[in-house]
Structures are given as structure tokens and as C-alpha cells.
Chains A and B, each alone.
Chain A
Amino acid sequence: MDKKLIISNLSLTFEEKNKVLSNINFHIDDSEIGCILGPSGCGKTSLLRAIAGFESISSGTILKDGVCITNSVENTPVANRNMGMVFQDYALFPNMDVKSNIVFGLKNSTELEKDNRVNYLLDLVNLVDCKNKYPHELSGGEQQRIALVRALAPSPDIILMDEPFSNIDQDIKEELVSDVRSLLKELAITSIIVTHDQNEAFNLADKVAIMNNGTIQQVGIPYDIYHKPVNKFVANFIGLGTFLPLKKNNKGDFEIPLGPLDNNRIKNELTKFDNLEMLIRPDDIIHNDLSIKKAKILEKQFRGAEFLYKLLYNNEHQILCYAPSHHNHEIGELIGIELDIQHYVIFERR
């Protein structure tokens, strides 16, 4: 696949001192949906704004279709980058109806072409009825879709979205997220979406870039990000989990307090062999009343179909475990657990 957008060694500094982004390297393929995921204040919105051209970068380059659109000296104006953008609060023009909002970016088109384009786009998002409504007459979800359609109207090369679902109620969010994904895929448009919500990122993206403190921590497909985090920040930020010490026993085999591990797999993955710890996800622990290994329940959260138990093993190691919700145990009770680790994620202890 062609690389649609390549960001190399990008840094962004605000007001002399304040380094917001440093040494960002990231690319996105044609028709791919990329997500930039990170906690608030990590610089993800600044990165998106730099791509759009709202911020001038201090070093590095951004190439679009192989052509440099920005470096520390040159800066293609926002209007000439042919990128569409969807803003967090949608930024629909309040003085214009839906149709006028959508045609705002359409230059050099006849009225008929504009009409057709509006109808086609509104049809895509099932909002043809809203054509003559004003933004304040629309629900949050409708405004969001109109904002997306408005950005799509001039047929941009890339669409950028800044926290597009943050103002959407939870109950319609998942549906909207998957609608947006199918729409973007249907139009085969390259997209970059900034979000702090990992479920959103996992549902939307082909590729996820995790950011923290102005740097990219890991880029990968959602499955790998969860199961093969490259550092402790990613492991902590994505999903739940705890860390258990990893040691060699006196036979030279690797084990964690819960039991022995596959020696060969560990040896293949590691270069150093002491002072290690292992990420244990809740799905690595299976609750089994018959098991001889017992752990004490410290806390429990009812999640409908299942309980999330926080357990204490051997009076010193905390672990998490999902159990079907008919296994309703009391806090303080000892329950049986088994180890079932598919992915070995090992970090050096600090």
C-alpha cells in the first residue's frame, strides 16, 4: 500500500520553552484509519493540528502523497492541504442551515452539483430530512454526522477528527463509532482520529498510535497494542492488569508466584534475565472453584455479565480476574484460580 502521510522527526514547541511534541515518527497508508490515542494533555490534538496546518512545527517534515507540506521553514496554508477536519465541538456554523454548512467548502461547483453532493452525503448518514435545519435544531449525534459530512464534502485527501465522539452519549456512541468506520471504509478515505478513549480507538482504527508526554510510545494494530505493549506506560494505559515478579527458580526455570512458565518462550524474548516482572491481564486468570490455588477477594465490581475481582494471592500479590456473574463471592472469601497466559509481556523492574 502507498504511504499517504509520512511524519518524520516532527517536533513542536510553544513559546520558546514548552516542548509539546518531540521526535514524532508515524505514517499512515492510503485508505487506512489511524487513531492517535493518549491521555489528556499528551499532545495528540497538537499533532493533529500540526497535520492540518494550524500549528507551525519547529522541526521535522510532513509528507503527503510524497510531497512535503510542512517543515520548519515552509508551511502549506491550511486551505491548500486538501484535508478535512471534524472538531470536538463540531464547529458547525450556527448562522447557516445544514445545507449551507455542507456546501461551504465547495468551490467552483454549480448549484446542481452542490445539490447533488449534499443529497448524496446526507443520504450516506441518513440525515436527508435535516437538510434545512439549523445546527441548534439537531441532536448531538446528528450534529456530529453533519460535521463529518461537511468535512467530507470537498472530497479531501485525508480526514482529521479531533475527539469526534467525546460529546456523544454513551448509549449511542458505539453504534455511531461503527457507522463512522463503515462510512470511512466505504469511501476509502484516509483518516486520522484523535481520542482518549481506547474502546473508541479499538473499534475505529486499523492502526493505533499511543502517545504520552509528546512522544509516540507504540504504533500497531489494536490487538498488538493490547497484548504486546512495548513499555509499562502502554501496558498500564491500555486495559487492566497488574505486574507480578518473574524469577528463576533453583532448577533454572522461570516462574511467577502463580506457577511455572514456558522457559523456551521467555528465553527467546529476553536478553536480560534478572529483576523482571510480568504483566498479568484479568483474562490471564481463570476462576475455577475446584482449583487448589486460592486467592482472597479484596474488592469486587459488578459489571452485569461478569464480576471483576481484585484478588490477593499469597498475602502479597495483587491480581485481577473476571468471573461470570453467577459466581457471586463475598469480599474476604478465598476463591480458586488458574493461570492461563497466552501473551508473555515482560518488563524490567524499576
Chain B
Amino acid sequence: MIPFVYLGSSVFFSYSENWQHIIDNVLLDYFVNSLSLAVGVGFLSFVIGTVTAWLTSVYDFPFRRLISWLLLMPLAMPAYIIAITYVGIIDSNSFLPDIRNLFGGIVMISLVVYPYVYILARGAFLEQSKELYENAQILGASQFDIFFKISIPMARPAITLGVTLAAMEALADFGTVTFLGIPTFTTGIFRTWFGMNDAVTATQMATLFLSIVFVFVFLEQNSRRKISYSENIKTQSKLNLKKTSKRNNFLIVLICALPLLFGFLIPFLQLAYWSIFVSNETIDKGFFDIVQSTFILALIAAVIISLISILVTYIKRLKPKSIANKFMQIITLGYAIPGPVIAIAVMIPFSNFDNYLNQILQSYFDISVGLLFSGTIFILIFAYCIRFLTVSSRTIKAGLESVSIATDDAAKSLGANNLSMFFKIHFHLLKTPLLISFLVVFIDVLKELPLTAILRPFNFNTLSIKAFELASDERIADASSSAIMIVIAGIIPVIIITKNILGKRNKV
């Protein structure tokens, strides 16, 4: 809570002359770029995501099952890594167009975030009833009619959520835009803070930016509240897959293969090639130390965040009207907040507190404890909590909601208390969502860049920071070892999650 109050209160701080400079010269750029990035990524992911989702859920074509889960693979690829890779490729092949511009940024980010739309839209398409399609066909609708008039509108809540997630990701992006040299709000905040050394102005920018983000979040949540018809249909029978001609099959495979190729295969293979044949960076003890510390950090964060999520969602289930709930709603907005903003919101209050504590301790007891919170891993984990609690708690909440309330009543009527009910029943039913939550947070921390870069303890390095630093020094090939580690580690959860979600849902 404190970080948000701090951000909010920054509106009342005095405004430095840097503001005038920012307003005169860069603010409009930041605003236009951030907005274009969000809209562009939202639109492009919508197109890629819904088209591939539709094709893989309606048509039968060769390698359909393989392709439908390979399409999720780009999730394992952080946007800044794909950007680094393509810049590397383009630099050595001069005939390719440059991507160090807004358009390039939109394409890069879309290539790795479209799976959000894809997975949600596909889930919605698969749940749409066969009767509905058949009805539309009897009434004379073509495939295009069905797609635009029935499937898309019915899947709108899911698609909206997916597109919002994709757009949020673009808004919050730091690594890609920094690397590609696109001035946005996130890079602007970072530059004001560390380049101009003006934390107050940076905070005020963050607040301004955050208010814009919240408007988006609010709009998205509102749109979801109004639309709930997709869940009302009970009589479901699985859709029969449509068979089409050889030529169409080829086209479908081609369309589905494109995002897969550009979003995953090409960059992955290029990284693998660099790391094995080109990289000067030796894989030695130093490298493995970094791997180890990265994994431990991700592990701790994933465990803590998943535990908090359980606690919070469980309280919500038991006491739907408690204050903890409202509190939770605010905290879980964290997903929409870019790393540098969270970093500011966490860093400054904590370091002030640390300094204050130090002064007191020094004047009364003559001891110095140094920076107790702000310089340690504690603050980093705390910031991760703000950033990733949303994802984790949403997963667990969805899992808990699938257990009917009558189950709780049954347990209570048989004399169970809340604690025994949790350990005997809910915990067992929540194993899968818990695993998913754990893995998602784990991989997100692994990929995370700005928070870690700003808040890490001195001399503490992670794979993502190392990859980004090397790439920024134009040593792209050298960055590949760290980058590919992140990607490989990211593939594992993607596979497990896909098996779990798509496996259960779609045994066609």
C-alpha cells in the first residue's frame, strides 16, 4: 500500500524545472509512442491470436495438434531477447529493413505476446457449442459470417482480456523499447531518474502514467462486467473439426507457421547458433553462478508470491465482503504497472525509511545497520510481489472457483473448520493451479528486467541483466548464452501449462 500512497502524494511535491523541459520536449513523444505501442501491439496480437486460434480450433489439417501447442512457444521468449536477436540478424544482413523504430517495436512485442490472445480465444472457441455453429449453418451463414458474427462476439470477453494483457505488456515494456531506442514513458521515467538524477520528477511522471494505465484497466474490467453471455450455454457438444482441400490445408499450415517461425523458431535457432559457435563469452563458473543466483531468486519469489496468493484468494472465498478484498483489488493492479514505476514506488519510501531508521539507531545507540531493506533482496522480492501477484492470484482464484461452494458447505456440515477444510480438500484440488502459478511467476522473474536492474543488491547479477548489458554493448552474440538459458528455462513451464490447460480442454 505504502508505495501507491507515495506515488499518489507525489502530485503535491514541488515541480522542478526538469518538468518544463519534459513537457516542452519529450512528454508528447512519450505519450504518443507508449500509446501507439499499446494500440499497435493490441491490434497485431488480436489479428495473429484470433486467426490462429480460429484455424486451430475449427479446421482439421496436418500437424494440427503439434502446431496448436507450438503456437504458445513464443511465450517463452522475452520481448527484449527477440528484439536483440533480430537486431543481430539484421546487422549482419544489410538488405533487411531496420527494426530500431516504433513499428519494429510493435512487431517484436506482438510476436511474443500474441499467445495471450491465442490461448484465451482458443479456449473460448472450443467452448462454443456445436449446436450454435450448426444452427448458423442451417440459417445459411458462411464460414466468414460465423467467424465474424458468432465466434468473435461470443468470445469477446476472452479476446478482450487477451488483447488487454498484450497491450499492458507493451505499455509496461522496458527492455525492448530501450534496446530499440524508442522513447516511451517507461524509458523516460528511467532516464529522468537516473540520467537527470531527478527522482521527484520521475515519480510524478510515473504517477501521471499510472493514472493513464488505470483508466485502461478500469475500462477493461468494466467491459468484462457487462458481458457474460458466453458462459450461459450449457448444452455443449464438441465441435466437429472441418476438413478442407489440400490447397487450403497448405494455406492454413502456412498461416499458423508464420508467427511460430518468426516468434520462436528463427530467434531460437539463431541464439543457439551464436551461443555455440560465435560467442566469446565462456561458459565458466562465473556464468553458472549467475544461473544459480537467478534460479534461486526466481524460486524464492515464486514460492512467496504463490503463498500470498493462496492466502488472499482463500480469505476472499471465506469472507467475500472483508476489507482484505478491496485491498487485494488495488494490489493486483500491479500487473499493469511498468517495472520502473514500481521500482520508484518501492525504492524511495524504503530508502527514506532506511535512512530514517539509521539516523535513529545512530543517534540513540550509535550503531549503523546500513540499508536494511532498500539495498537487499527483500525489496526486490517485495517489488516482484506487486508486479506478479495479479497473475498468480488470478490463476489460483480460477482454480478455487472451479470447486463448488457446496463443497465447502458439505465440509462444514461434516464438522470441518477452515484450516482442515483447506488442507484436506482445497489444497489437493489446487495442486495444478498452484503449479501453474508457481511456474508463471518463476519464469516471469527469470525474464524480468527493469525491476531487477534497479533494485538488485550491489554485485548481484541475473541472466536477464547480463544478456541485456552485453547486448547493449553491441555484443549481441555474446549475450546469446544468457539469453538462450532464459528461453530454455521458459519453455519448460510453457509445455507443462499447455499440457495441463489444452490437454484437458481439448482431447480431439
Q: Does A105 contact B (CB under 8 A)?
A: yes
Residue in B410, B415, B424 whose CB lies within 8 Å of A91? B410
**When A89-B404, A95-B425, A104-B424 are in contact, do A54 and B417 touch as well, CB less than 8 Å?**
no
Closest to B429 in A: A95
Please encode chain B, from 397 to 412, with 1 for each CB lying within 8 Å of some chain A CB and 0 for all others: 0000000101101111
Q: Does B2 contact A (CB under 8 A)?
A: no
CB distance from A259 to the nearest CB of B (A): 49
**Chain B residues near A52 (CB, 8 Å)?**
409, 413
- Bound Cα distance A180, B294 (Å): 61
Q: Are B414 and A104 in contact (CB under 8 A)?
A: yes
Q: Are B428 and A85 in contact (CB under 8 A)?
A: no
Q: Does B416 contact A (CB under 8 A)?
A: yes
**A75-97 contacts to B (CB < 8 Å):** 78-79, 83-85, 87-89, 91-96
**Chain A residues near B409 (CB, 8 Å)?**
52, 54, 78, 85, 87, 91
Q: Does A107 contact B (CB under 8 A)?
A: yes
**Chain B residues near A84 (CB, 8 Å)?**
413-414
- Residue with the greatest number of chain B CB neighbours at <10 A, chosen from A83, A93, A151: A93
**Chain A residues near B415 (CB, 8 Å)?**
79, 105, 107, 154
**Number of residues in B with C-beta < 8 Å to the partner?**
16
Closest to A105 in B: B414
CB distance from B435 to the nearest CB of A (A): 15
- Residue with the greatest number of chain B CB neighbours at <10 A, chosen from A52, A85, A88, A151: A85
Closest to A87 in B: B406
**Chain B residues near A153 (CB, 8 Å)?**
414
Q: Are A151 and B407 in contact (CB under 8 A)?
A: no
**A86-120 contacts to B (CB < 8 Å):** 87-89, 91-96, 104-105, 107
**A142-167 contacts to B (CB < 8 Å):** 150-151, 153-154
CB distance from A174 to the nearest CB of B (A): 25
Residue in B404, B412, B413, B417 whose CB lies within 8 Å of A151? B413
**B270-284 contacts to A (CB < 8 Å):** none
Counting chain A residues whose Cβ lies within 8 A of the other chain, the interface size class is 20 to 34
- Residue with the greatest number of chain A CB neighbours at <10 A, chosen from B411, B415, B424: B415
**Chain B residues near A104 (CB, 8 Å)?**
411, 414, 416, 424
CB distance from B403 to the nearest CB of A (A): 8
- Bound Cα distance A93, B427 (Å): 12
- Bound Cα distance A300, B416 (Å): 54
- Bound Cα distance A240, B425 (Å): 46
Q: Are A91 and B416 in contact (CB under 8 A)?
A: no
**Chain A residues near B404 (CB, 8 Å)?**
89, 91
**Chain A residues near B414 (CB, 8 Å)?**
84, 104-105, 150-151, 153-154
- Bound Cα distance A78, B408 (Å): 12
**Chain A residues near B424 (CB, 8 Å)?**
93, 96, 104
CB distance from B453 to the nearest CB of A (A): 43
- Residue with the greatest number of chain A CB neighbours at <10 A, chosen from B406, B417, B429: B406
Q: Are B413 and A89 in contact (CB under 8 A)?
A: no
CB distance from A89 to the nearest CB of B (A): 6
**A109-140 contacts to B (CB < 8 Å):** none
- Bound Cα distance A104, B423 (Å): 13
**Chain A residues near B417 (CB, 8 Å)?**
79
Q: Are B413 and A83 in contact (CB under 8 A)?
A: yes
Closest to B426 in A: A95
Residue in A79, A88, A95, A151 whose CB lies within 8 Å of B406? A88
Residue in A78, A89, A92 whose CB lies within 8 Å of B412? A78
Q: Are B411 and A93 in contact (CB under 8 A)?
A: yes
- Bound Cα distance A277, B429 (Å): 59
Please encode chain B, from 282 to 315, with 1 for each CB lying within 8 Å of some chain A CB and 0 for all others: 0000000000000000000000000000000000
Q: Are B410 and A85 in contact (CB under 8 A)?
A: yes
Residues of chain B whose beta carbon lies under 8 Å from any beta carbon of chain A: 404, 406-407, 409-417, 424-425, 428-429
- 4 closest cross-chain pairs (CB), A and B: A105-B414, A95-B428, A91-B406, A91-B410
Could you list 11 examples of A-B contacts with CB < 8 Å? A79-B413, A79-B415, A84-B414, A85-B409, A87-B406, A91-B406, A91-B409, A93-B425, A96-B424, A105-B415, A150-B414
